[in-house]
Amino acid sequence: MLFDDVLRQRRSVRAFKPDPVPLSLVRELLDCARRSPSGTNIQPWKVHVVTGEVRRRLVAEVLAHRETNPPDTSAEFPRARRTEPYVGRARALGKAMYGLIGIPRGDQAANWAQWGRNYKFFDAPVGLIFTIDKSLDCMSFLDTGMFIQSFLLAAKARGLDTCPQGAWNNYWTVTRRVLNLPEDEWIVCGVSLGWADEADPVNALVADREPIEAFATFHGFEDDRERLAPESNLCSQV
């Protein structure tokens, strides 16, 4: 696939077929992703890859814990309270997704169940839990994000699908215990990996994006709007 096609076609998939992903293929994706850049090349990312019985036990224990316990994110690393425009964008995503799968606004039980699918890796056969050493700082979160995006794109280029999942830092106490993660590692993010179930309506979601003008400010460029036709920007042809 052309690189731009891979970028455009990657989407967060939230329903997977049960077909297994061989270890050799997972290793191939990690081998691509390890070429990701990191500040002063410190390569801070660590990843715990789960499948089979370990995956089943992790899913079972997190879901059981979630029934009677609140999320424990805030004790691990503080998250900011969102303001506009971020609240509105997140709401738009939720509205589009819950609309597609027919969950009415305010149906908290259905909402809870759908969010709970995160902790089944959306039925994907492989789950990844990314961690970094607690001695590191926000730059290493950036580095790890770059690694994760490389991984997602390498997967898409091979016909596999993924979903990055911040949800996995919500119940880090259980994940840490089940996977025997060291106390000095932060759980940054999870990723589901497998083959998309194209028949599931949730996978029809195409999340919106803001136009370039909403996030980019150009400094010192000559005005070349007339020279560049809009269609010369291949990535905008979704």
Ligand X SMILES: Cc1cc2nc3c(=O)[nH]c(=O)nc-3n(C[C@H](O)[C@H](O)[C@H](O)COP(=O)(O)O)c2cc1C
Identity of the residue, 127 or 164, whose beta carbon is nearer to ligand X in the bound complex: 164
Dmax (CA) for the chain in angstroms is 61
Q: What is the C-alpha separation between 67 and 149, in angstroms, rounded?
A: 31
Question: Residue 17, SS3?
Answer: coil
Site for ligand X contains 14 (CB under 6 A): yes
Identity of the residue, 159 or 220, whose beta carbon is nearer to ligand X in the bound complex: 159
Site for ligand X contains 207 (CB under 6 A): yes
Site for ligand X contains 193 (CB under 6 A): no
- Tally of helices (H runs) and strands (E runs) in the chain: 8, 4
Site for ligand X contains 12 (CB under 6 A): yes
Binding mask 107-146 for ligand X (x = CB under 6 A): -----------x----------------------------
CB of 72 to ligand X, least distance (A): 15
Residues 147-186 that bind ligand X (CB under 6 A): 163-167
CA dihedral 75, 42, 141, 219 (to 10 degrees): 150
Helix residue ranges per DSSP H, the chain: 3-9, 23-33, 52-68, 73-76, 86-100, 108-116, 138-157, 172-178
The residues binding ligand X (CB under 6 A) are 11-12, 14, 93, 118, 163-167, 189, 207
